[in-house]
Structures are given as structure tokens and as C-alpha cells.
Amino acid sequence: MKSDCIQTTICQERKKDPIEMFHSGQLVKVCAPMVRYSKLAFRTLVRKYSCDLCYTPMIVAADFVRSVKARDSEFTTNQGDCPLIVQFAANDARILSDAARIVCPYANGIDINCGCPQRWAMAEGYGACLINKPELVQDMVKQVRNEVENPRFSVSVKIRIHDDLPRTVDLCRKAEATGVSWITVHGRTVEERHQPVHYDAIKIIKENMSIPVIANGDIRSLKEAENVWQITGTDGVMVARGLLANPAMFAGYEETPLKCIWDWVDIALELGTPYMCFHQHLMYMMEKITSRQEKRIFNALSSTSAVLDYLTDHYGI
């Protein structure tokens, strides 16, 4: 675990607490937890383009607690990386609270992943299977609340919905009663992947809650984010793939501007981003602004110097 931010107060005094943001009446724009992608360099980039709150990729709490190597590789932050939520995959209250205590000095809060539909996660008792275990979710929230002394440290959950929506509302009410700070709702069931998002379900959940709710699912532009915010009545929107394709979308850009691409190059090189990750992000960002032939050439590049030469030659910067 690498960090220049030693005290939580440093982070929280420089930026609003997420809870304060959610009560501002303004749209809170959130970068989703994305395995491999929502790491420090990418979080730094989207913060330059009007992203209000960022999540780390999902981290398996048991590995994080057990292994210093896992902590160093999975969680990197710095003083400008706030407000920040660390998302954990967990199925044990004690292990989760231990993980929360480790990250507490470096983050604004933790999030419990109750929405990942991947088979490996569900087989381990993580992710979306937890929407069917409300008592375990309550136990984990309580344990973190009891173990972390900072009263401003948030504990949130990210869920998918049930086919039977009243079950989801019941889950959310139980989580709220236990002291959860806010809930992010991905408006699909565990089985759904690319089907339309049930924004009506998110709206119903929000109407039944007094804590903040974040809407998530298939948001690809600032206009769409504002529309989803309005129709669901939620307090914020969370975006994943839309930000990968256009990290500047929250600032109102319809496609990735060249300045954003060069900002990514500067940030990634400064922070020592591995080449595979550096290149993959650029492939996503340039999807809409390159031809098929250009994609073939760019995607086959195999070194940082080759990428820099390509960008300089083709975009004259």
C-alpha cells in the first residue's frame, strides 16, 4: 500500500465529504470501481474532468488483510486522490473491518461489493450473491462501524436488483437501518448483462430510502447522466464504461478530446503505469476518433516510445 496521504483529515479538509456532496442538491458524478482500470492514474485523470468521487477497483478483503504484497499492488493513492472510496469483496465481517481499519487513514470510506455477477466472485460468496444475504450485509456494516473510530468514515454498498423488487427494497431498508452511508444501485438483475437498465426500479428504491442513492448502468454522456439523475430522483450517478471510452464525459465532452489523451500520457508516465494498462486505456479513449485502419496499427504497438511516436505523428502534438 503506497501513499503520500498520511492522515484522513488531510484528505477530508481539502475536499468535501461525499455525504456533504450528496446533500448539496447537485448531481454527484462518480467513477465506478473497475477491475484493472480505476487505479490511481485513471482516477487522477477523471478528477481533472469534473468527476466528484472515485472508487478503487474491487479488492478481495481477505487477500488485502493477509498479504503486504497484495496491499502494495492493489491499493495506491496520493494526497490529491480524494475523495476516495475503497471497494472490497468480502463475506466475513471481521476480515472486512480489519481491511477498513487499514485503509481508514488513506480514504473517505469503504464500499461492500454486493453487485459483481462474475461466477468466480459468487462462488467465493462475494459480489451479487450478497443481495440474498441481508443479515450478512448488516453484520459487515455493523462491524466496520464498530471498529473504525472516525465517525466521518463512510460505509456504503453497491448492489444489483432482484427480479422481485420488494426484496431489493427490503435489503436496502435493512442496510439503512444498520447505518450504511449510501447505496449504489446497478439497475439490472444478476442474470442481465446488456439488457436495458431498469431505471424505474432505481427510482422506486430511492423513494423508499432516506439515505443517498447512486444510479448506475449504461450512462455514456453528461446529458445521459443528467437525464438518469432527473428520472430516478437519485443523488448521484456512477459511470464505468462510459468513462473508459471518454474520461472527459463528466466535463461535457461528447468524445475524448486530444488534451485528455495527452493528460493521460503525462499522468500515466509520471505515476509509472505499466505499459499494458497505459496502452489499453488509450485504445478505449481513441475508439471513437480513429478509423478501423488506424485502430489496427495503434492496437498492435508494443512499447511506450512507439505509442508516443504514433500520437505525435498522427495528432501533431
Provide the β-strand partners of residue 60.
89
Do 75 and 86 form a contact (C-beta atoms < 8 A)? yes
Q: Is 286 annotated as a binding residue?
A: no
> Which ranges of 118-257 does DSSP label H, i.e. alpha helix?
119-123, 134-147, 165-178, 199-207, 222-232, 241-245
- Of the candidates 11, 116, 172, 260, the residue annotated as catalytic is 116
Q: Is 33 annotated as a binding residue?
A: yes
Q: Any idea how long the chain is? A: 317
Q: Is 186 annotated as a binding residue?
A: yes
Q: Is 123 annotated as a binding residue?
A: no
Q: Is 240 annotated as a binding residue?
A: yes
Tell me whether residue 31 is one of the annotated catalytic residues: no
Measured torsion, CA atoms of residues 238, 175, 163, 224, in degrees rounded to the nearest 10: -20
Q: Is 117 annotated as a binding residue?
A: no
Type and span of the H or E element at 30: strand 28-31
Residues 6+ apart with CB under 8 A from 157: 111, 112, 114, 137, 141, 175, 180, 183, 184
Please report where in the chains the cell 431489493 appears, as a residue.
Answer: 168
Burial class (CB in 10 A: 0-12, 13-18, 19+), 135: exposed
Q: Is 241 annotated as a binding residue?
A: yes
Do 169 and 205 form a contact (C-beta atoms < 8 A)? yes
Residue 83 corresponds to which amino acid? P
Do 256 and 42 form a contact (C-beta atoms < 8 A)? no
Residue numbers in the known binding site for FMN are 33-35, 87, 186, 240-241
The residues carrying an active-site annotation are 116
Residue numbers in the known binding site are 33-35, 87, 186, 240-241
